[in-house]
Amino acid sequence: MKVVHLVFTLALLLVAAGATAGPLPGGADSDGDTVEDAFDNCVDIANASQTDTDHNGCGDACSANITCDANGDTSVGAQDFTILRMQFGNTPPANISADCNGDTSVGSQDFSILRMQFGNTVGPSGITTAQCDPSSCRCTPQ
């Protein structure tokens, strides 16, 4: 009888370990690139090739280099434009990234860069074990 209990307990442990091993196939595909979100390294932008040049778990399609994210929300938009407009001609404080070109002041070149980056966003990756820097992608390291 002890053998039966031991086998049953071992079987339960194996089942429990399998349940936490990772996502199972058959989930949603938000961007329609035929890669399910749980396995997709760029959930919001279709990237069927899953190219990840730096192997950080965030696909290249979600790792755009954005320098004009003045409010830190990982995308360049109207709020960033407003912040740049308010900081025009100034040296922005350290907690505001309104200096897009790194010359320590906000000027017309920064607005040109913002115009080119407008609408760009970074992340998210659906790969929750990705080791990545939250400033460059919105993965969830574990």
90 belongs to a structural domain: no
Side chain identity at 65, as an amino acid letter?
N
Residue 135 falls within a domain, yes or no?
A: no
The pTM of this model reads 0.57
Whether 78 maps to a domain, the answer reads no
Q: Is residue 40 part of a domain?
A: yes
Q: How many domains does the chain have?
A: 1
Burial class of 127 by CB neighbour count within 10 A (0 to 12, 13 to 18, 19+): buried
* Domain carrying residue 25: 2-62
Could you tell me what percent of the chain has a pLDDT over 70? 70
> Could you tell me if 114 and 80 are in contact, meaning their C-beta atoms sit under 8 angstroms apart?
yes
| Angle between the N-to-C axes of helices 108-117 and 78-87, in degrees from 0 to 180, rounded to the nearest 10 | 180
Supply the pLDDT for residue 3.
52
Looking up tokens 């992608």, which residue turns up? Answer: 137
Mean pLDDT of the chain: 77
102: region left, alpha or beta (phi > 0 left; psi from -120 to 50 alpha): left
Instruction: State how far the Cα of 70 lies from the Cα of 74, in Å rounded to an integer.
Output: 9
User: Taking CA 142 as the corner, what is the angle to CA 36 and CA 138, rounded to the nearest 5 degrees?
Assistant: 60
Alpha-carbon radius of gyration of the chain: 22
Would you say residue 68 lies in a domain? no
Question: Which tens digit of pLDDT belongs to each residue from 84-107?
Answer: 999 898 887 766 678 898 888 889
What residue has token string 């990234």?
97
Asked whether residue 98 is assigned to any structural domain, the reply reads: no
Does residue 34 sit within a domain? yes
Q: Is there a domain that residue 136 lies in?
A: no
